Chains A and B, each alone.
Chain A
């Protein structure tokens, strides 16, 4: 079984401030981990993914995430928030064994940027 917990359904940060969105996972086998972003009335776009290479993963739009096995975490960060970062963010986990590629999503974190 696998699951994802996103702490904080709503996060507000000032423009230029650090963005930190939290994700903890549970998986019985080594996981793949993903962050997706959803802008209003749009589909999901992949921000970044961890697939067992480097534990610090860089994604699009200046975002990065660090896989910490000891903490079962995969928090998403960005050093300086921009107004265009306002969106909903989803963390997701998948098993790393072939034939079990189902994604399990967290409930999402809505990020608001304060001018």
Chain B
């Protein structure tokens, strides 16, 4: 049971490039989400999914796309990277059985856009 895994751990992009941050979980969780963490701003929700085929926007969705074709995977796509997207990105998953839940976080991807 690996929990929530994210790849890559580090990435440097040039402005305008695109890339996909990978996230996978092996706990059969229904809910998955992407956050970005910036100094002094805590974690802000980018996109989330309540199950395969269902996604929705969070607080800061602009410049990012997601899809959820399987329960296990929830990739985050940067369409055209901008320096403002330099951040640490965390993926999380959770199960809402009996309304007793917690979110499990991946180790993060540190992205720099130059």
Q: Report if A34-B43 is in contact (Cβ < 8 Å); known contacts: A44-B90, A101-B31.
A: no
- The interface on chain B, measured as residues whose beta carbon lies within 8 A of the other chain's beta carbons, has a size of 25
The reply on A82 being an interface residue by CB < 8 A is no
| A102 adjacent to chain B (CB < 8 Å) | yes
Q: Are A103 and B45 in contact (CB under 8 A)?
A: yes
B100 at the A interface (CB under 8 A): yes
Expressed in whole angstroms, the Cα–Cα distance for A107 and B37 within the complex equals 10
B61 within 8 A of A: no
Q: Contacts A102-B48, A105-B42, A107-B40 hold; do A51 and B99 have CB atoms under 8 A apart? A: yes
Instruction: With both chains docked as a complex, state the minimum distance between the C-beta of B84 and any C-beta of chain A, in angstroms.
Output: 18
Contact residues of A between 2 and 34, Cβ < 8 Å to B:
9, 32, 34
Residues of B within 8 A of A32 (CB): 101
Q: Between A and B, how many residue pairs show CB distances below 8 Å?
A: 53
CA–CA, A106 and B101, complex, Å = 19
Chain B residue nearest to A34 in the complex (CB): B102
Among B14-22, B74-82, B104-112, the stretch in contact with A: B104-112
A83 interface residue per 8 A CB criterion: no
- Residue pairs across A and B with Cβ atoms less than 8 A apart, 22 shown, are A9-B40, A32-B101, A42-B107, A42-B108, A43-B90, A43-B106, A44-B90, A44-B105, A46-B102, A46-B103, A49-B102, A51-B100, A51-B101, A96-B99, A98-B99, A103-B45, A103-B92, A103-B103, A105-B42, A106-B42, A108-B40, A108-B42
Given A102-B45, A102-B48: 11 more A-B contacts, CB < 8 Å? A42-B108, A43-B106, A43-B108, A46-B102, A49-B102, A98-B99, A101-B96, A103-B43, A103-B45, A104-B45, A107-B41
